[in-house]
Amino acid sequence: PGPGTGDKVNLGYFTNWGVYGRNYHVKNLVTSGSAEKITHINYAFGNVQNGKCTIGDEYADYDKAYTADQSVDGVADTWDQPLRGNFNQLRKLKAKYPHIKVIWSFGGWTWSGGFGAAAQNPAAFAQSCYDLVEDPRWADVFDGIDIDWEYPNACGLTCDTSGPAALKTLSSALRTKFGSNNLVTAAITADGSDGGKIDLADYAGAAQSFDWYNVMTYDFFGAWEAKGPTAPHSPLTSYDGIPQDGFNTAAAIAKLKAKGVPASKLLLGI
């Protein structure tokens, strides 16, 4: 079940591609001391294709064989065991740290293009996600689902035109399917500008179905703007000369609360 009012959430992302070039594995959560401090992990990312939740990286997710020295519990994978990869390592992590909840996050910047089709048939989308997250091979690993739609009724890598009500409809379908014993969360924009991304979708209405929002209060300014401006990446508050009004954490949180999103459902991304 989701946390009650006043409970603290200390969540970190585990990215499945990190096992390659970064050489960062689930065991690193233990050796770094992070596992003792975090309460929740967002496992990123599952894909969204043709309006359905799909696997992001089969090899990293559940096929990669871990040697004893790479494994959370010091036991090597065998060639014939039913589950390997990150999912099995997360299972071992949860056995070692029972307080940790793991949430499977779908979408992200690169894979949000499928949400438009998902919004056309929310019930079918929710069913596909439930079938994948609750697959018998790894159902015990996950405690819920996270939707990282960048961005409902707005532009990210691609532009979405599903309308302001789509997020609420989608979230309601997910909650109906996953029920009250699973976490259902979403990563959302932190664009607090007038007429910006927060204004373009019904985040307050959708919040009724989500346990919390992961407010992405980062990437306000960055190197993707070829000609600048140069500015702090993640300003906490506004300042004289900020290139874009509303592009700061305080403005985003204030706007979400003003629209009716409960403060207890706002998780600050850093």
DSSP string, 149-161: -S-TTSBSSSB--
Buried b (16+ CB within 10 A) or exposed e, 32-45: eebbeebebbbbbb
Structure tokens at 107: 């979408």
101: number of Cβ within 10 Å? 18
Token pair for residue 259? 């629209």
Return the amino acid letter for 190.
A
Strands 40-49 and 52-54: what pairing? Answer: antiparallel
Task: Kindly provide the b/e burial profile for residues 53-87, where b requires at least 16 CB atoms within 10 angstroms of the residue's own CB.
Answer: bbebbeebbbebebeeebbbeeeebeeeeebbbbb
Which of 100, 107, 89 minimizes the C-alpha distance to 37? 100
Decide: 253 and 194 in contact? Cβ < 8 Å: no
Catalytic residue among 36, 58, 134, 150: 150
CA distance 216 to 130: 25
Residue 150 annotated in active site: yes
**What residues are annotated to the active site?**
150
